Amino acid sequence: MVRNRKKSRVLKLDLMLLRMIGRSKGQFAAVLTIIILGIAIYTALNMTSVNMNHTVETYYRENRFTDLTLQTAAVPAQEIKTLQRIAGVEKAMGRTSMDVPVITDNLDERVRLRLITDRGEADDLSKSTLLEGKMLSGSGKEILIIEQFANARKIRIGDELKLQISGVQRTLEVCGIVANPEYIYLMENSQAVMPDEEHFGVGYVSEQFGQEAAGLPGSYNEVLIRYEANVDEEGLIKKLEDQLDVYGVKQTIKKKDQFSNAIIEQELTQLDSMANSIPILFLLVAGLILMMMLSRLVKRDRIKIGVLKAIGYRDRQILFHYVKYALAAGVSGGLGGSLLGMLMAGGMTRMYLEYFHIPLLRIEFYYSYLVYAIILSSVFCALSGLIGAKGVLKIAPADAMRAEAPKTGKRILLEKYPIFWRRLSFSNKMITKNIFRNKKRTVFVLAGVTVTYAMMLFTTSMPGVIDQMMNEHFKEFQRMDYNISFAAPISKAAVKDMEALIDAEIIEGKLEYPFELSNGNKKQAVSVIGISSDTTFFTFHDVKGREIDLPRRGMLISQNLSRLLGVGIGDLVRVNSYLPNREDVYIPVRGIIKQTLGMNAYMDLDTMGRQLLEKNVINGVYADSQDSDLNKELLPASNIASIMSIADIRAVYDKYMTMMVLSIGFMVAFSGVLGFSIVYNATVVSLGEREMELSSLRVLGFGKREVFFMILKENQIIAILGILLGIPVGKLMSEYSSAAFSTKLYSIDMSPNGEAMIMAAVYTAVFVILAQLATYRKIQRLDFLQALKNRES
């Protein structure tokens, strides 16, 4: 058909390029999709990261986030003024903080509220932002509630909140809903695996009410410090600790260790590393595909290249013509991806801010990322194009005019085993030979399927990993149903009282106190847990998985702690108590244990009391109980600080898992796109190269379906090999990730289980088959007579 065409001003080589793209639109679209996805992720995550960092920074600055928190016994108000005079202190502030149970209509429910005093002064540290209602008026009967808790429990302004304070029920009226920079990530303590916003919240009360409730009139149990610029942090902390030593410093928390901030920082770091690693993987795959496509294209276009050289086109002009194909993919992918990424960035930042409850919105579009993205994808693609098309330079015009000599046929390895070889049908022999003949293509598809499978495996193993982590910690490592902490240490005999109070099968007393453990200049504040040597609630395993007993003397420390302190078995660890007038104690490490959640040291209960605290005391119990009224029974007890139910922690985790399914879906789709593109492109290229061969088969009487199934089988064999190879690669990836994701709070072992391996194989197979089906149309359209007539395609 002839169309009237306006005289084109485009150079003819470029016109050829555009039409070449049009002819291979399926392949081009497949590569483009990968680039767009990679660049969109790059732009979206980077912009989200910058926006998040700026937002958090602004939020911290505007609300005067504290640089240091010192948890103490009781510090008189006048002492704060003394601290204020220490050089390097810009602002010192005292407050009281205590965790109290909330009385709800459902007595089986354990709800805890952290009551913190709020003076409502402009220069206060870690100030709240009022979202709704009004700030405290000073009547002493009002409370400000943190947003996450208010949302989760549907608490409205004017609602009354009943609290159990030191055995007495107190009622406060909710006057406002607030957000606070210390609780962006609302978690009770490091034992809580995830935020449980329905069962733990924070409330801000007047100073007078808080001090009375805590039994600290005129005193504080927390000191907040804001530094002056360029302060020597360690030096200042030392001075502050010395100054407050007489009041008993329980724990010193730097900004970087503050629980919520540490998690936010960690999230942002992970966001950053994802923003730069995932796109590189996508671009690498796109680059590989382009390389393969162009190297095959140059081979196929041998005569065309010869003619162009004969006409007088220079090598670099022709080389650039092919590189432009890759560059077109790079530029359009970079542009499309960065625009998509920008659209996604706004939504993602909003999602993050909502997730973290940050009452600020700083979404800015950083157009520089558009430029970076286009440069990144263009350079990547152009380089791949150069490598792929460099064969242009080797083609001599005179040689190109002659038909290429056929490749020397060789027997493949399998043919040396006639017992096996003779059993194969003709088409199976062809399939096997093809796999071995075109090694580069085989390796490419193999690598593609391997990477796809490895990524799928990584994704599908996530739920199992978390499940296993929870099981390991809460079923194998520690098996109690409840972890009950007392407000103050009491005699060991209290275990008997508890037995009378609650219906429990086993109750064991415990000591759980924060100490600073150090080895030389390596320090870490951790909870040291004292339990009976013959405990039934804990089973300790060393790093090699062998069960070990809790020694009567010395301590067991978790593997992550041993790494942080750089200590091994037999080494002495210095234990520095936060309690006043306590000498440092040196305790030998008797064993290093595996612990998936948290970081602790364990000692025999009596030894710990004797060496670090007082003889025969406990500050809590572990209980094995199916008693659903346990909470109700313990509520009136004045000395109960907290009751942690393992079942509650698991329930939160289950809720989290449903959220995780969505992100797993995304990851599977992303990995699938990679696998699809690789297999689709490799198959299309292979079809182009083998047009003659396939046409001959058609002439011999093979049907279209038979030809298709031959190619399908060929790819299936490679795919199966790819999946098998993907298992160790996926495992390696998981091992690497275990190290990368493990933090002070978690030690993740990401070894995939059987179910994950099967699921990953199923997903990979689905995408491989989809890619194959997409090429079926090309086989349908194969004009075998024309192909046989043509000297070149």
* Binding region for other proteins (CB under 8 A): 1-5, 8, 11-13, 15-16, 19-20, 23, 303-304, 306-307, 309-315, 396-398, 401, 791
Q: Would you say 7 or 85 has its CB closer to other proteins? A: 7
CA 126 to each of CA 204, 275, 356, 482: distance values in angstroms, whole numbers, following the listed order: 12, 30, 16, 32
Provide, rounded to whole angstroms, the least separation between the CB of residue 315 and other proteins: 8
Provide, rounded to whole angstroms, the least separation between the CB of residue 434 and other proteins: 27
Place of tokens 């149903």: 481
**Cα 772 from Cα 761, distance rounded (Å):** 16
The backbone region for 302, taken as left when phi is positive above 0, alpha when psi lies in -120 to 50, beta otherwise, is: alpha
Neighbours of 450 (CB within 10 A): 24
CA-based nearest residue to 21, from 385, 308, 380? 385
Provide, rounded to whole angstroms, the least separation between the CB of residue 311 and other proteins: 5
Provide, rounded to whole angstroms, the least separation between the CB of residue 682 and other proteins: 23
**What angle do helix axes 25-62 and 367-389 make, rounded to 10 degrees?**
150
Rounded to 5 degrees, φ, ψ at 159 are -65, 155
3-state SS class at 135: coil
CA 756 to each of CA 450, 479, 548, 664, 761: distance values in angstroms, whole numbers, following the listed order: 15, 27, 31, 12, 9
Q: Would you say 308 or 575 has its CB closer to other proteins? A: 308
Assigned token pair, 366: 């950083």
Per the CB < 8 A criterion, the answer to whether 175 and 136 are in contact is yes
| Residue partners of 621: CB distance under 8 A and separation at least 6 | 484, 494, 495, 498, 507, 508, 509, 510
**Cα 708 from Cα 769, distance rounded (Å):** 12
Assigned token pair, 428: 């199976």
CA-based nearest residue to 96, from 127, 78, 113, 118? 118
Provide, rounded to whole angstroms, the least separation between the CB of residue 393 and other proteins: 10
Q: Would you say 77 or 396 has its CB closer to other proteins? A: 396
Q: Would you say 15 or 87 has its CB closer to other proteins? A: 15
**Cα 196 from Cα 651, distance rounded (Å):** 9
Provide, rounded to whole angstroms, the least separation between the CB of residue 792 and other proteins: 8
Q: Would you say 311 or 700 has its CB closer to other proteins? A: 311
Provide, rounded to whole angstroms, the least separation between the CB of residue 722 and other proteins: 35
End-to-end Cα separation, the chain, in angstroms: 21
Pairing outcome for strands 572-577 and 522-531:
unpaired
Provide, rounded to whole angstroms, the least separation between the CB of residue 397 and other proteins: 4
71 forms bridges with which residues in the sheet? 222, 251
3-state SS class at 623: strand
Provide, rounded to whole angstroms, the least separation between the CB of residue 16 and other proteins: 6
Residue 126 has, within 13 A of its CA and on its CB side, a CA count of 26
Secondary structure of 98-126 as H, E, C letters: EEEEEECCCCCCCEEEEEEECCCCCCCCC
Provide, rounded to whole angstroms, the least separation between the CB of residue 384 and other proteins: 23
**Cα 477 from Cα 460, distance rounded (Å):** 25
Helices (H), 627-703: 630-634, 646-689, 691-700
Q: Would you say 4 or 521 has its CB closer to other proteins? A: 4
Provide, rounded to whole angstroms, the least separation between the CB of residue 399 and other proteins: 9
**Cα 176 from Cα 393, distance rounded (Å):** 74
Q: Would you say 23 or 162 has its CB closer to other proteins? A: 23
Task: Please tell me what DSSP assigns to residue 408.
Answer: P
Q: Would you say 9 or 416 has its CB closer to other proteins? A: 9
Task: Please tell me what DSSP assigns to residue 230.
Answer: T
**Cα 701 from Cα 782, distance rounded (Å):** 14
205 forms bridges with which residues in the sheet? 117
Provide, rounded to whole angstroms, the least separation between the CB of residue 35 and other proteins: 24
Provide, rounded to whole angstroms, the least separation between the CB of residue 689 and other proteins: 17
Provide, rounded to whole angstroms, the least separation between the CB of residue 29 and other proteins: 18
CA 619 to each of CA 390, 445, 494, 616: distance values in angstroms, whole numbers, following the listed order: 74, 61, 10, 10
Task: Provide the residue count of the chain.
Answer: 793
3-state SS class at 702: coil
Provide, rounded to whole angstroms, the least separation between the CB of residue 297 and other proteins: 13
**Cα 47 from Cα 369, distance rounded (Å):** 8
Q: Would you say 24 or 49 has its CB closer to other proteins? A: 24
CA-based nearest residue to 145, from 176, 116, 121? 176
Provide, rounded to whole angstroms, the least separation between the CB of residue 390 and other proteins: 16
519 forms bridges with which residues in the sheet? 522
Q: Would you say 15 or 246 has its CB closer to other proteins? A: 15
